Structure 1
Amino acid sequence: MSGRVLVVDDNRVIRQLIRVNLELEGFEVVTAADGAECLDVVHQVCPDVVTLDVVMPRLDGLRTAARLRDDPQTSGVPVAIISACTPYEVESGFAAGVDAFLAKPFEPAELVRVVRQLVHGGRRQGPSQETEGPPSVDGSRRGAGRAGTPRT
């Protein structure tokens, strides 16, 4: 098994798409329909990575990420946002402790690459790296406006 991923998205089709792509690569996947459900199940699931959509009912992805960071039991779990994000949302996400962004629509191979790197590499490094712009999952620098844009 490659690791356990908690996939959080209010769109059932997107949840299923992410689940299938990750399960084909050997990940165990648990899903939640919004941020509130994520916070309800995260302690039972003990995921290696959490993926979050931004726009969701009850509790959005950025507020969910901030709450995961504030909880000592989940503060070290890598978090990836999978969403069509604005540069402002990317900046807000890094401020909330998000480790990676993947823009929708995403390439399945890019999804697997990001999740695999987070499972094996853990969280991004400390705040000292943020002075030159937020690092991507692989440690390279990207401007906030381009963060999460799939590379070709």
Structure 2
Amino acid sequence: MSSDTPDTPVRVLLIVKDRRLWGLLERLLVAGGYAVVDGGSGRDTLGLLEREGPVALLVCERTGPGLDEVALFEEIRRDPGHGSLPILALPPADPECTVQALKAGVDEVLAKPFHPAEFLDRVHRLARGGAAAG
């Protein structure tokens, strides 16, 4: 079954190191009608993209040990099967982090702290265009 059918929620892959923030974003996404896939660390994410099938969007705050966010973004962009996957980066409010994420190929950057409504607006915009991506 396709991830964009009316009976199946659009899937969002969520990589957030801070588990409290992960829980908050998961609740926002579920309330917004999305299914959330836990991306774990950056290395786990690459495997999940292969195993789990299509997701509409990758939301990434911090990957944790093993692979940093910028390296993950660059690796995804180089991959022919996942290179067009929309990516929303959630870096700290530091212009250098924003520039690094954009240079690595993310579609949107939303620096922390952010308002929940702004987060969901960005997710809706990106996931609509990426519902068939994978």
TM range (shorter): 0.7 to 0.9
Distance of 1:2 and 1:87 partners within structure 2:
34
Greater mean deviation of Cα atoms: 1-10 or 64-73: 1-10
Aligned residues: 122
Structure 1, unaligned runs of 5 or more: 123-152
Which segments of structure 1 move beyond 4 Å, counting only runs of 4 or more?
A: none
Distance of 2:46 and 2:93 partners within structure 1:
22
Q: What does residue 108 of structure 2 align with?
A: 100
> What secondary structure, in the 3-state scheme, does the structure 2 residue paired with 1:50 have?
strand
CA contact (8 A) 1:53 1:60 kept: no
Structure 2, unaligned runs of 5 or more: 1-7
Relative to the length of structure 2, the TM-score reads 0.83
> What secondary structure, in the 3-state scheme, does the structure 1 residue paired with 2:21 have?
helix
More RCO (CA 8 Å, sep 6+): 2
Distance of 1:88 and 1:53 partners within structure 2:
15
7, 12, 22: which is aligned to 2:19? 12
Cα–Cα, structure 1 residues 55 and 32, in superposed 2: closer, same or farther, change >3 Å?
closer
Shift of 1:82: 1.2
Percent of paired sites with the same residue: 29
Q: Is 1:25 aligned to residue 35 of structure 2?
A: no
Cα–Cα, structure 1 residues 62 and 85, in superposed 2: closer, same or farther, change >3 Å?
farther
Relative to the length of structure 1, the TM-score reads 0.74
CA-based RMSD:
1.6
Q: What does residue 46 of structure 2 align with?
A: 39
Distance of 2:62 and 2:37 partners within structure 1:
18
Distance of 2:50 and 2:37 partners within structure 1:
12
